[in-house]
Amino acid sequence: MTDEPDTTSAAAASAAAAGRHDGGRLRGRSALVTGGGRGIGRAIALGMAAEGAKVTVLSRTAAELEAVVAEAKALGGDGAALVIDCMDGAALKRAVAEAADRDGLDILVNNVGGLIGAPEQLTALDHDDALFEQNLHLNLTSAYYATRAALPAMVAGGYGRVINIGSGYAVHGGGGIAYSAAKHGLVGLTHSLAWQVPPEITVNCLCPGWTNTAVLDWNGPEGAAAAAAKARVHSVQGRVLEPEELAPMAVLLAGEGGGGITGQVINVDGGYKV
């Protein structure tokens, strides 16, 4: 018995979970994933690394990022980590530009998001004003800053894929007002950008439904159970999805095969509120 990690089996498990294909559909491409240390961002980063991409992951937590980079390399791709607070727009732009200058930038995944504040601070009648602005910035404005910094490199390289990570609340009501407003805003940003960028750059919004991430803990220790109960009622498949189930669609949108898909809102959500 040993305390050394079994990196071979760990890599195999990660590859299977991330939907690995042997074709290397993203070989030679450079991707950047905001909020890439865990959850959906991590799953998409590893899915792209498994297809041969070099993936730069951004978040505030160095240990999580370093773990993702190690997994990306074990999958046959490559990775780099940039510790950054995506709430700082100027710093986020600098980080994206730095990654683009170093490796080029073909694919941007605007994944960072979530909820800031306690539930009782985010109700419609008692919403904290500062928290409203902060939640808008985290879930919408950060995507503008990252995209603004990424587009020059994509235009120069003649190839670009912008993937905004939305939510079931990007197309339905029911979420917190700041969170839902921001995610609806991502849809508008997607549509508008798709019209204005050169045709070799695509812009899409990938929307998860109830997904097994830390966001489920926002409502306390019963958050995951509550999400499962809602999923049973509100989705065709009646279940909470795993983050890795988002990766195959993200890989499709990021690659050559997704070149004809742009300006779209695509749900990977188990049939949420169909």
Q: What is the DSSP string of 103-145?
A: H---EEEE------S-GGGSSTTT--HHHHHHHHIIIIIHHHH
Q: What is the DSSP letter of 221?
A: T
Residue pair 57/78 in contact (Cβ under 8 Å)? The answer is: no
Task: Name residue 79's amino acid.
Answer: G
Q: Which position among 145, 159, 179, 272 bears the catalytic label?
A: 179
179 is catalytic: yes
| The residue type at 252 | L
> How far is the C-alpha of 32 from the C-alpha of 48, rounded, in Å?
10
Measured CA angle at 230 (ends 229, 233), to 5 deg: 95
- Residues marked active site are found at 179
